[in-house]
Amino acid sequence: MTEASPQPFTKQQVRDSFNKAAETYDTFAIVQREVCKRLLERLDYIKVAPQMILDIGAGTGQGTQGLALQYPDAHIISMDIAENMLLKNRDKIQTQSTLAKKVKNFFKEKQMVQFVCADAEQLPFADASMDMIFSSLTIQWCPDLTKLFNEFRRVLKPGGLLMFTTLGTQTLHELRASWAEVSDKIHVNHFADMHDIGDALYNVQVENPVMDNETIVLNYQSIKQILIELKAVGAHNQNVGREKALTGKSRLQAMYKAYEKFRTEEGYPVTYDVLYGHAWNPKTPMQKTQSDSQQQHTSISLAQLKSTLGSRERS
């Protein structure tokens, strides 16, 4: 069957989904934790000393805690669209702060962390107020990439750094293909192509944008567990064109059967196409120039990225 064209989800749908998932998120967010960890590790190769950091899509706080460790003198704003996620985040930070007073190995007593519930496409912050924007696995929930990146540019100071991850087109391709065999409705979220994200960065005239990707594959012993865990982290289908009625048992079983062709000795694979990006806000306004597609769309290995970042000097 041919799957219907995806229609953008609403922000209220995204907010509701992650609010419901707040209690179960940390238990099942295996990929999310690993990707956030890897994004934080990339900061080891960049010489910056930000004073104001905005963690967009902070969720339950892994990125915020990592940033606090890496930049103990920084003021960090932990922002998410789902208030229940932020409440979990705040509880963790407050617990860590209390422990820090005893063991003195986490937050500095003077370090400030604030919590803001807001939409990434409508940031409630002043122009040129942030030294760094950090965002892990969030921008896939923002359909208008140009609007999003323009907001990032607006709030970043001249020379400010943007670091982000998101998901690419091959994410959940096994589940998408299996559903497409038995239903013409949308059952799996669609994700942007890496070159589309690179184009959006280019169009808003950030400086030295770099994109690269890697594939993470998890293996499950049952397809049912895949569906349970996607819902538990708030990442289940949110498209307007999704099937709204409860999926019938026969159709669900047909999807399970279609998924069998992907099964290996390790189990049922679930692919995550993880995209990494970083860019700098220009110190001076840039004029848009023509360049070929190779210049607009940069894809490099992690080793090359580390080399590039390690040689970058910041004033």
Q: Give the pLDDT means over successive 10-residue stretches in the chain (315 positions).
A: 58 94 95 98 95 98 95 96 96 74 55 92 97 97 94 97 97 96 87 93 95 96 96 71 58 95 97 97 64 38 45 43
CB within 8 Å of 51: residues ≥ 6 apart: 73, 74, 75, 131
On whether residue 315 sits in a domain, the answer given is no
CB-based contact 7:240 (threshold 8 Å): yes
At 288 the pLDDT is: 46
The domain total for the chain is 1
CB-based contact 166:200 (threshold 8 Å): no
At 65 the pLDDT is: 94
CB within 8 Å of 5: residues ≥ 6 apart: 241
At 248 the pLDDT is: 73
Model confidence pTM above 0.85: no
At 149 the pLDDT is: 97
Residue of 94, 114, 101 lying closest to 52 (CA atoms): 114
- Which domain does 80 fall in, by range? 11-170+191-215+273-310
CATH number at residue 156: 3.40.50.150
On whether residue 227 sits in a domain, the answer given is no
On whether residue 182 sits in a domain, the answer given is no
Structural tokens at position 128: 């040129």
On whether residue 247 sits in a domain, the answer given is no
Residue of 64, 125, 119 lying closest to 90 (CA atoms): 64
Q: How many CB atoms lie within 10 A of CB 61?
A: 26
At 69 the pLDDT is: 93
On whether residue 101 sits in a domain, the answer given is yes
At 190 the pLDDT is: 87
On whether residue 158 sits in a domain, the answer given is yes
Rounded distance, CA 286 to CA 293, Å?
Answer: 19
At 176 the pLDDT is: 95
Question: Angle of helix 83-103 relative to helix 62-70, nearest 10 degrees?
Answer: 40
At 108 the pLDDT is: 56
On whether residue 69 sits in a domain, the answer given is yes
Q: Which residues pair with 117 in a beta bridge?
A: 80
- Full DSSP string of 227-292: HHHHHHTT-S---TTB--SPPPHHHHHHHHHHHGGG-BTTBEEEEEEEEEEEEE--SS--------
On whether residue 195 sits in a domain, the answer given is yes
